[in-house]
Amino acid sequence: MVGFAPLYGSNNDFSESLSLLLLGNLFLFAGLIAALSPGRQVCIDWARYRHQSDAHRKHLWQDLMWGEKSPAVLAIALNLLEAHLILLPWIILYQNSDSKMAGIAYLPLSISMLMLYASIAQLMLLMKTQKRGLWAASTVGAAICLPPFMLGVLSIYPGENNLLWMLTAFPWAALKYASAMTVIVSFVGQLGVAGMLNWQLTRQLRLAGSSAFKALIAGRQ
């Protein structure tokens, strides 16, 4: 994708090529997040196993990174970091561009934004309702599409309120108007919300694992 990126934009335009490349990256990762995050029963079985096995707790980080049944948020974060680091040398070495700093600033914003979507998807997949996969895909799709749509309807443009646009899935147009502090606030805000969602996810998994373990012991007795 990086190799073909100069062909995406008109007249070899760097900012247009990068924005289209990252747009494709966004939808690719959004689809993979919805498809690969484990469902409710898989996560509950994993949490129950961790609850009843003290030895298994010692390998939590390895399980979160490599396990097939554990929540996928940490593994997704590592893949996001890898995918975006591949873009960094191309941005730095690209010649005759005034948008390099904006491109570099976009990378952590893209990672934090996609981490937020991954957390939303995994939390939705823990719901007790039917068709959890559809709910997860719909919620992530709404989180991507609705904010910029509403800002457009309200005639709030990137040059007028760049902070609001940088909290959407399409912050590229606002980056050239934003200060370094605005970028930092957006990045920290998205990570903070993702952290709160993961805290809620951890809490639900701990309760579900404990309840499943107690039900298993009661059934054996």
Q: Mind listing the pLDDT tens digit for each residue in 100-153?
A: 787 888 888 888 888 889 888 888 888 877 788 788 888 888 888 898 889 888
Residues whose CB is less than 8 angstroms from the CB of residue 115 and which lie 6 or more positions away in sequence, other chains included: 73, 76, 77, 80, 190, 191, 194
Tell me how far the alpha carbon of residue 57 is from its chain's centroid: 25
Residue-averaged pLDDT of the chain: 78
Q: Which has the closest alpha carbon to 43: 152, 123, 129, 97?
A: 123
pLDDT of residue 123: 86
Closest alpha carbon to 118 in 200, 31, 60: 31
Kind plus residue range of the DSSP H or E element containing 136: helix 132-153
> Which residue has 């970028």 as its token pair?
183
Token pair, residue 56, equals 């298994």
pLDDT band at 219 (very low <50, low <70, confident <90, very high): low
Kindly list the domain boundaries of the chain, sorted by start residue. 5-220
- Cα separation, 212 vs 175, in Å, equals 47
Question: Residues 174-191: pLDDT tens digits?
Answer: 887 888 888 888 889 998
CB 184, CB 112: distance < 8 Å: no
Token reading at 154: 């309200």
% of the chain with per-residue pLDDT over 70: 81
pLDDT tens readout for residues 11-53? 567 777 777 788 888 888 887 887 778 887 887 777 777 656 6
